[in-house]
Amino acid sequence: MTKQSALTLILPIAGEENAAWLNKELTDIGQQLGKAPKIDFSKSGLTHFARFVILPGADANSKAKRLLFTSNLDGDFDGYARELIDNGIAPGIDTIFSKCEGYQSGTLLNEASATAFFNSKNIDSNAFYIALRGATREIIQQSADLREKMDHQLDNGELSNEDKVAIDRLYKDCENLRSTNSCLNDPPSATISFGAKVLGVVNDVWEWLVGVRYDGNNPEITVETQNHLYDMEDLVTQNQLTAVVPVKKNVFARMMLRLILWLISIQVKSVKGTLLDLATIHFARWVIIDDGNNLLFESNFDGSWENYIDDFVDHASVGMNLIWANCIGFPRGGAKDIESFKAYIRANQTPAQVFYSAYKDLTVRNILTDLSLSKKISDLTRPDGEPNFAMGYYGA
């Protein structure tokens, strides 16, 4: 099974002038996505999501802006470095990186130096959530193509439940896809494991310790308008979230944050398909950065920002409290004080100048349906299979 990796690079930008240039250049690239951008990730067969974000300085004392580049990719960094070079994507990224301190122009153009650069500069994620572990970009694309083909044949009357020949042909296609991809033989399912129970207990103790109290919310709240964020939202099926929040200064909070994220990283590996019932997130990561002073959260999710946070609060407020109660400014009522929680996230969010999605028209649930088609069709070929091909595959 091909694993998915999280690449996180944070490079200091060399001077205000370069920051301004990068902002303009990256914004242009962002707007050109889907047309002819100077960095064309769609040529990459390994990239699921990628983004460039110009981040503010690490704290009040170091104001120099930084460049964040993240990618959610198939395989490891060695293969990725090679692929970016082979498909002509590396030069564009090289130009962008060359405006940053400590980056030697041309590093990404050579396989050995590029691999070394990724491996040495990457900041390991403390927790990395993958909705569909093992589902490579290629499998996702192939399953979607197969579904479109079936759709087409159904619409044109070329396929009906009685058409054994056509069904057999489709079945073979699915079998081929399935046999070459082990993840499809093991359909994702949502099981709340032992880890969740442990987290629940930890949470009760933890909330009591850090002072998250459910003694009512504060209705006296004014939400600031943040058009620079809204402008970048609801453009494709997925939306982006990049938030950097300062971690509390005491050792206890810092230790707890690492422990919680470690527990969550184990937890998300044991839960397949859904992040504690949240089937709207493709990839998400928590990364402790800046010598432990800040926590970076990145998410690639389906649908509106409001719906995303609502879902988080409805289904995973325990996890949210565990993590962010270690950070400065987290509302006293926890994530359940939903308006205050939203205001907290919004206040710490930075828009990505470039937000690339390899499948900008597919939700996690669409992909789940596509991947499970092979199973349903094989059921259908059994003598006792229900003749519900047409409706069964459609969203059910």
Q: Per CB under 8 A, does 304 bind other proteins?
A: yes
Q: End-to-end CA distance of the chain, in Å? A: 27
Q: How far is the CB of 293 from other proteins (least distance, A)?
A: 30
85, 109, 154, 266: residue in contact with other proteins (rule CB under 8 A): 154
Per-residue burial over 86-118, b = 16 or more CB atoms within 10 Å of its CB, e = otherwise:
ebebbebbbebbebbeebeeebbeebeebbebb
Q: Tell me the site size for other proteins, rule CB under 8 A.
A: 51
What is the C-alpha separation between 58 and 40, in angstroms, rounded?
29
Residues from 215 through 274 that contact other proteins (CB under 8 A): 215-225, 227, 230-231, 233-234, 237
Q: Per CB under 8 A, does 315 bind other proteins?
A: yes
Which H or E element spans position 287? Answer: strand 281-289
Token pair for residue 246?
């300062």
Q: Per CB under 8 A, does 213 bind other proteins?
A: yes
Q: How far is the CB of 311 from other proteins (least distance, A)?
A: 9
314, 328, 329, 347: residue in contact with other proteins (rule CB under 8 A): 314
Per DSSP, the three-state class of 238 is strand
Residues from 365 through 384 that contact other proteins (CB under 8 A): 365-366, 369
What is the C-alpha separation between 281 and 298, in angstroms, rounded?
11
Instruction: Give 122's Cβ-side CA count (13 Å radius).
Output: 20
Quick note: the x/- pattern for other proteins over 273-292, rule CB under 8 A, is ----x-x-------------
Judged by CB, which is closer to other proteins: 107, or 374? 374
Token pair for residue 345?
């996230």
Quick note: the x/- pattern for other proteins over 321-360, rule CB under 8 A, is ---------------xxxx---------------------
CA-CA distances (angstroms) from residue 176 to 90, 181, 300?
33, 9, 30
Q: Per CB under 8 A, does 396 bind other proteins?
A: yes
Segment lying near other proteins (by CB under 8 A), choices 98-106, 120-128, 210-218, 290-298:
210-218
Task: Give, to the nearest 10 degrees, the angle between helix 251-270 and helix 305-324.
Answer: 120
Which chain residues interact with other proteins by CB under 8 A? 154-155, 160-161, 213-225, 227, 230-231, 233-234, 237, 277, 279, 302-304, 306-307, 310, 314-315, 336-339, 361, 363, 365-366, 369, 387-392, 394-396
